[in-house]
Structure 1
Amino acid sequence: MWKCLEGSLDLEILVHQGQLYLPLLFDPEVHVECQALASQGALRELFPADSPHSSFPPILGVQGRLFARAVSAASLVDNYARLFPQESEDRRHLLREQYSLAADLWGVALDSKLITIIFHILPHFVRRAGLSRRRPLAEAEILDFIRERLPVPARFAEEARRFLDLNPVKEAVRRLETVTWELKAPPEGLVPAAVLQAWWEESLTTRLLHEERARLIKELEERQYWAGGQEQRLAVLLYLAERGSLELDGFGFARLPSGRDYRIYKHTGPYVLKDYFGRPYLFPDCRVAVATLGRLRPVVVDHYKHPFLRQHGPGQEICLGSENQYLTFSAKHVIQAIEDGINALCYSYDSRRRLGYHRLDALPGMMHLVDFEDYRIPADHPLAVSGDMEVKKPTT
């Protein structure tokens, strides 16, 4: 439809209550079909004096010509960015240059998922010594804790000062106050394609400027919110936003190649499981992770084997049995998914029940696709004797 507007400027399009009707090619077969529609009441003649009609017939007749319903005029504006993302971004870039909305307003993006990870997920798994777990940590305390453990390059302090300068954003919002925000309805009746294209260009420009204004207002609110904090704390946040990864006390996250999603993980640490005969098996540390892209499902990041993993390799989904759920991204769901994965590895294996994919002990006549003999340790192993290594027991 967009190509029709651009390439057929001598074309006439019928606009009826926001719906676009294109000329119908006429031949004998079409004539027969139109007669059938007319007999069913689905074809009517549209006159200028027609009162508003609540329905949109598939065929309309005007001045002896037939027009077939295509799409709504509003959809040409609403769906342009979805169908033509690059062209839409090019238009947005030109508008930013025209209204001077630009480079000095773009800092490091503080995306919502990163904020959720830092302020709502990290404190659940990592806690500064001496602080009660019953009291939620304030944002300033979390950033101070990270700053103590993570060296932040000096340039991010300057970045924080620039980010906290509200004047460039205020000026940009002020420049957009002269824009007319009302979306005009398309002209009704028989309209040349050139006129309809002009309406579409104007409506699309208004839509893009409206989105830019909403973005700037959100950024202004964000900067005003952080203006009350110290530059050093904001520098930590800006550094994490650019770096995209962090690991503290066995908890960590890393940005995925998509740029907007993350892998969030927790180390299990080494642990001991026992087989049916009571023999101990020392499992090495691994990272249990979920990705914010798609549904949250716990996987092992590293090359690993376990009775609840199908194979011996990296990136395997942990078998949770009937408790496996389709969770969407939120702090509560991420915490639940990671803990479900850790609990499955450390506490759910029961040598007396047939759970998971494999068994630790090699019973006669059984074929083992994954072998755990290299994990088995003697009863007098230093870790077993000292009691430093807890033997995980299945939960009931």
Structure 2
Amino acid sequence: HKVSGKVSKVLPSNTNNRIFKTRENKFPESDGDSKIKEVKQDYGWITYAYCESVYGLTNPYSDFSASWKVPSPPLRYSNQLIYLFISMDGVSFNDNDTVIHIIQPVLQWGKSPAGGGDYWSICNWHVTNTLQYFHDSLIRVDPGTILKGTIKLISENGGRYAYKSSFEGFETSLEVSNLPELNTPSIVLEAYNINSCDEYPDDQKLRVNSINIMAGDAYPKLIWHTSGDFENPVNDCNQYTEVIDESSQNGVTHIFFHTPTSIDGYNDMHIFPNPVKEYLNISPNESFINCKIEVINSNGKLLHSTFIKYFDYEIDIDFEHYAPGLYFVKISYFKSKYALKESNHTFKVLKSK
């Protein structure tokens, strides 16, 4: 295969600890009622969504792009390695061997064969199940950065295809030719060396937006499949993937790093952790308008107030300097611009030592 990019490498198998797994998960055993949930060496594709055309394809997939925001860092730094990416994969058959090829623009946390450390960075990869790995240069990115990953079909000749993986606005990219047709788009959380849930990003979920998948010049009708769901998450960290909008044009998918238990059946927003030690995360499950969030101590004193005109992202409220004890978080909002009644909810939050 011909690989080109601003910088590219071929990594011999004995230098690479990345395990290749496609649509297969290892479900760790539950640790019962342990208050600190532990996962037993999560590795590979942890949770994901992949799609197929409802009516079949008359043309190959020509363009797959999606946008997401770089998450917050994990609460605990260890030697964990986390990959978040979109990908396209396909299969070739050579001399009775089956070779799976994946092209993927990847956001990673940790140190991989491409480099890195305790920070977020991006890189484009071509991975096979025969321990061949190709990548371009690693670029460090900050939490909150909006990324747009793209996989494009460049050319086709005699049943062999060339693809390009890139991040919009960044110089590096990876082009790979002489590939089979890549016919399975996926959105994936992949991880290694995870031993506890706080080694995942502190955010509740990754929102993957503006998912656009084209076949030729058309947007095909798609059906999506996921690993795990809200009722049956993939492991003790309660991770799962939810397809919000299945459309091939401006689709939306959420990958959950953590799924807090609802409070009295209230699921409009998730508030965690509780008890809180440093930062309280508030994550809406849908978009709200004119949202006001207040933190009040047990004496009735207002300590914090935030107004958000259009609330469709996660926020962290700093509790680090509050004294240990009981606090009230009051949230008011309208579910849409047509809503006549304001929703109001108050939650008890315990600040730990």
Bigger Rg over Cα: 1
Q: The TM-score by the shorter chain falls in which range?
A: under 0.3
| Structure with higher strand content | 2
| Structure with higher helix content | 1
Normalised TM-score (structure 1) = 0.24
Normalised TM-score (structure 2) = 0.26
